[in-house]
Amino acid sequence: MNFANRMNALKPSDIREVMKMIAANPGTISFAGGLPDPKLFPGEAMRQATDKVLREQAESALQYGLTLGYVPLRQKIAGLMAREGVVTGVDNIAITTGSQQAISLSALLFLNAGEVVLTENPSYLGALTAFKTFETDYISVDSDEAGMKPEDLEAKLVAHPEAKLIYVIPNFQNPTGRTWSLERRQALVALAVKYDRVILEDNAYGEVRFDGSRVPSVKSLDPGKHVVHMGSFSKVLSPGLRVGWICAHEDFIKKFELVKYGCDLQPAELAQMQVDAFLEENDFDAHLETIKGVYKRRRDLMLETMEAAFPLEARYERPEGGMFIWVELPSHVDTKAMLPEAIKRGVAYIPGESFYPLADRTNAIRLNFSTMEDDKIVEGIKRLGALIKERL
């Protein structure tokens, strides 16, 4: 087959490859996936929501709908955005097939072949893959526990005028779990305004905060048209529903409607109406508190076990929310090369190399704490700690 040239830049996801290795080794304690715990899905409430929709609005739910999405749900999302400090309305909201589609279609809107996206270092693998699909490149900006370093971001903006987009995950970043400080968010927006660039703010984990106080979203600091905010119900309701959203200036939404129509005509009407009915009939905040309580306990247990089992040379931070703990080992430790031995010992993780835009660092590990039961967390971390000590 004569595939498009852009396919040459794409390769299988390292995460998917790790999952295949895990599947071939039943019983592996996996800290690899970025999955929400399915035991926390509101199955009965969603069944009732679905029954209500199909009983009262079956013809609408099973019919084509609007390209920008179901209006009552967009209204509710505007209410959720108010929690982020963003005063907005239906005309600023578009429903997407998960936040992954929001990333892909935003890239389609802005990027020509050969242009550049500026990213954190490390960054979300799925976004890096999405950007590559459009024959673009990415350049990493030096980042620390508070976010992108403004001085390096400005230097990259000056050096790369072809860099149209700045992609960031300010809350509980995937993979590091870090949260940007307010000062770094303000500096980011100021530079985007100064150099007339667009920020893609990926907030897939924003509602999963179990420590500290909510930091104003990047979108809330935007004086005009410079921030496109992306959210999702995947981590807090169900990834299988594939319901996410974009919040942006009306000029962006009008263009987004065109590419969304060309991509899949519309979001799935039934899924949108299921989510809307769930939000209408249930206490969403109480549901979130249940999720956060479980994840907080598992994070604490993982960190406590790491403190006892990991060598002092292993560096890691305490995330205030989300699903991930990022571990950095001495530079000579190749965590990708170490993974097959880890799986032989019955424990799995994602090597950090996958998340660096240039794949130039091999000594990090991403651990997920959202899905494993307590006894598995303890045993898995002990096994991993013993292996790390052998590699030092």
Interior/surface letters 167-188, b for 16+ CB within 10 angstroms, e for the rest? bbbbbbbbbbbbbbeeebbebb
Element (H, E) at 194: helix 182-195
Angle at 30 between CA 27 and CA 36, to 5 degrees: 120
| 25 pLDDT higher than 90 | no
What is the predicted pLDDT for the residue at 137?
87
Contact 86, 220 (CB under 8 A): yes
Report the largest interatomic distance among the alpha carbons of the chain, rounded to a whole angstrom.
63
Contact 272, 70 (CB under 8 A): yes
**381 alpha carbon, distance to own chain's centre:** 24
pLDDT tens for 238-291 read 999 999 999 999 999 999 999 999 999 999 999 999 999 999 999 999 999 999
Residue 109 to residues 28, 112, 113, 261, Cα–Cα distance (Å): 41, 9, 12, 13
Where in the chain are the domains?
12-42+286-391, 44-281
pLDDT tens for 118-148 read 999 999 999 999 998 988 888 999 999 999 9
Cβ-based neighbours of 187, under 8 Å, separated by 6 or more:
150, 153
pLDDT tens for 59-115 read 999 999 999 999 999 999 999 999 999 999 999 999 999 999 999 999 999 999 889
Range 12-42+286-391 classified under CATH 3.90.1150.10: yes
Q: How much is the CA Rg of the chain, to the nearest whole Å?
A: 21
What is the predicted pLDDT for the residue at 68?
99
Kindly report the average pLDDT of the chain as a whole number.
96
Handedness of CA 46, 52, 54, 58 (dihedral sign): negative
Neighbours of 69 (CB within 10 A): 26
What is the predicted pLDDT for the residue at 360?
80
Closest CA to 117 of 91, 138, 94: 138
Cis? peptide before 351, omega within 30° of 0: no
Q: Tokens 């963003």 correspond to what residue? A: 86
Mean pLDDT is lowest, of 189-193, 216-220, 350-354, for 350-354
Mean pLDDT for the stretch of residues 29-40: 95
Percent of the chain with pLDDT over 90: 89
Closest CA to 204 of 173, 166, 238, 231: 231
Which pair of tokens denotes residue 356?
A: 């660096």
Contact 145, 152 (CB under 8 A): no
| 359 pLDDT higher than 80 | no
What is the predicted pLDDT for the residue at 18?
84
**56 alpha carbon, distance to own chain's centre:** 34
The SS3 of residue 117 is strand
Range 44-281 classified under CATH 3.40.640.10: yes
Cβ-based neighbours of 298, under 8 Å, separated by 6 or more:
369, 370, 372, 374, 377
Rama region for 368: left / alpha / beta (φ>0; ψ in -120 to 50; rest): beta
What is the predicted pLDDT for the residue at 128?
92
Interior/surface letters 349-380, b for 16+ CB within 10 angstroms, e for the rest? bbbbbbbbbeeeebbbbbbbbbbbeeeebbeb
